[in-house]
Amino acid sequence: MAEGVFKVAAVQMVSGHETERNLADAGELIAEAARLGARLVGLPEYFCLMGKRDGDKVSIREADGDGPIQAFLSQAAARHGIWLVGGTTPLASEDAGRVRNACLVYDDKGRRVARYDKIHLFGFQNGAERYDESTTIEAGNTTVSIESPFGRLGFSICYDLRFPELYRALAPVDIIFVPAAFTATTGRAHWETLLRARAIENLAYVVAPAQGGLHSNQRSTWGHSMIIDPWGEILACRDEGAGVVVAEIDLAKNAKVRASLPALEHRTIGA
């Protein structure tokens, strides 16, 4: 049975191009979240590496189930007795030149309980600012949600946030995770609006751990890691810089909101 009231944390990072340093930084922030009472902790996208070049993530790819990044996540979850949503890890794909951008989830014993591979790959052009994740990432094709002691959890990654049909495929879930590395340009314009919309339309909590600052590769990410309730209210937010935001989740609030506004039950298209 799911716990009724508990604390959740979103970890914000400014990851660099040295994986060992990033893992050490993530370890300290996870420990801080645990000290603050969080039972469920989320890391941001690319927590282990924001490379100097797009291909750097391919050079540190790991086989599914084996590698130092996966070992770190498992050990951190077990050490602190928390459930850990591990941002993203570059896992080997069938294409040797690309990786799967995978969100791996571990329980409080350090056992992996879920894997979600990012489905929608970011592409953006604005003058000199250009991104094309498809050159180094192979897209996933399966939505993932699981039962946990904290209700039903649904998973998405960064650019997925712009595709509401993904979240409709997950619904109903109690908590949606959105580990991200939104650019400063797109984040300033759309990040908060999209996150609050996903919470409101799915009547679910949203936990969005983000990259937030100027990275060693000179890329700027928007930050503003947030925890949002099912009514769209922001419970906690960190604007920029590394740190942790913590908020209390009450699953009874999910039930109350859904009883008073049964929008999920009123769906007719795609239901």
**Active-site position among 158, 237, 240, 253:** 158
Angle at 179 between CA 177 and CA 185, to 5 degrees: 125
| pLDDT, position 128 | 73
pLDDT at 46 > cutoff 70: yes
User: With bands split at pLDDT 50, 70 and 90, how would you rate the model's confidence at 257?
Assistant: very high
pLDDT one-digit tens code per residue, 68-106:
999 999 999 999 999 999 999 999 999 999 999 999 999
Share of the chain above pLDDT 70, in %: 100
**Active-site position among 118, 138, 237, 253:** 118
User: With bands split at pLDDT 50, 70 and 90, how would you rate the model's confidence at 20?
Assistant: very high
Average pLDDT of the chain is 96
Mean pLDDT of 205-232: 97
pLDDT at 223 > cutoff 70: yes
| pLDDT, position 158 | 98
User: With bands split at pLDDT 50, 70 and 90, how would you rate the model's confidence at 1?
Assistant: low
Please give the biggest Cα pair distance in the chain: 51
Domains of the chain: 5-260 (3.60.110.10)
| pLDDT, position 125 | 82
45 annotated active-site: yes
In angstroms, the CA 220 to CA 208 distance is 17
pLDDT at 270 > cutoff 90: no
CB 148 within 8 A of CB 83: yes
Lowest-confidence region among 22-31, 121-130, 168-177: 121-130
Share of the chain above pLDDT 90, in %: 93
**Active-site position among 45, 62, 138, 240:** 45
Name the residue among 53, 56, 31 with its Cα closest to residue 43.
Answer: 31
pLDDT at 138 > cutoff 70: yes
The reported pTM is 0.97
158 annotated active-site: yes
Q: Alpha helices of 82-125 — where are they, by DSSP H?
A: none
Q: Which residues of 2-33 are buried (b: 16+ CB within 10 A; e: fewer)?
A: eeeebbbbbbbbbbbeebeebbebbeebbbbb
pLDDT at 2 > cutoff 90: no
